[in-house]
Amino acid sequence: APEMEYESVLCVKPDVNVYRIPPRTSNRGYRASDWKLDHPDWTGRLRVTSKGKTAYIKLEDKVSGELFAQAPIDQYPGIAVETVTDSSRYFVIRIQDGTGRSAFIGIGFTDRGDAFDFNVSLQDHFKWVKQETEISKESQEADTRPKLDLGFKEGQTIKLNIGNMTTKKGGAAKPRVSGSGGLSLLPPPPGGKIAVPPIPPPSSTAIANHVTPPPVLKSSNVSSADVLLDLDAPASASTAPASATTDLWGDFSTASSAVPNQAPQQSNWVQF
């Protein structure tokens, strides 16, 4: 109902000529050359409006805007608006008054572009009417079809099986690492390192068996004169360390006893 009350303007042309046309004698159509094109019967303004699905061609006075005649159009192309056979600037329209009387008159535009705009405005309107009719028809057919009920019935439940999801709210899924034999192993901690087992300290038994040979100490009784020994002294001194080296890994007492005390020898040098 509100759409039927609203009137919109589709096209406005300031100059239009109106002609009285002779009755059509055949079905071949109207010809503009049969009209008195140089002497129009009326000149004014043309306005195309729409109200709902009906379009209106209104002929109005240029100055006062008073309505001269109007032609309601229910279909285009149709009997309400027809084009002539010999020109694209002239049309034949059917005007009606409030009492139901109707008459056919001719209209023409001086500019060919105005005639094109007039034609396109009517075509666009009835194209929209056709689309609205198809949409309403489809909606009515959809209402008559049985509706598919996809809602849950009372007591009906649904179960979802989602893998790798915990039941706790906000819990994260734990990845599974499959090892050999089908066993599942936990992943290593992030950023962790494999600890190297510590080396065990050596046992006391090994320490006891390892004996360091004692150092050979020089006797404090040896004087500086003993450095120059006679030729037979080194032979006797060399025999003593040989016996000591044979038992380097023995007891400390044995090692200490193996070192003989070197007695000071007399020097063969003559003091002056």
- d(Cα 262, Cα 162) in Å, to the nearest integer? 97
Contact 109, 14 (CB under 8 A): no
| Sheet strands (E) in 109-259 | 177-178, 184-185
Please state, in angstroms and rounded to a whole number, the distance separating the CA atoms of residues 80 and 92. Answer: 8
Number of domains into which the chain is organized: 1
CATH of the domain at 94: 2.30.29.30
Residue 81: which domain range? 7-137
233 within domain boundaries: no
pLDDT digits (tens, 9 = 90+) for 76-133: 888 899 999 889 999 999 999 878 789 999 999 999 999 999 999 999 999 999 998 8
Q: Kindly list the averaged pLDDT for each block of 10 residues, start to end, along the chain of length 272.
A: 70 94 81 90 94 92 91 89 91 88 93 93 92 83 70 80 64 53 61 60 52 51 47 46 49 50 52 52
Three-state SS string over 205-219 comes to: HHHHHCCCCCCCCCC
Is the residue at 108 inside a domain?
A: yes
Q: pTM to 2 decimals?
A: 0.51
pLDDT one-digit tens code per residue, 203-218:
555 454 555 555 555 5
Residue 105 lies in a domain: yes
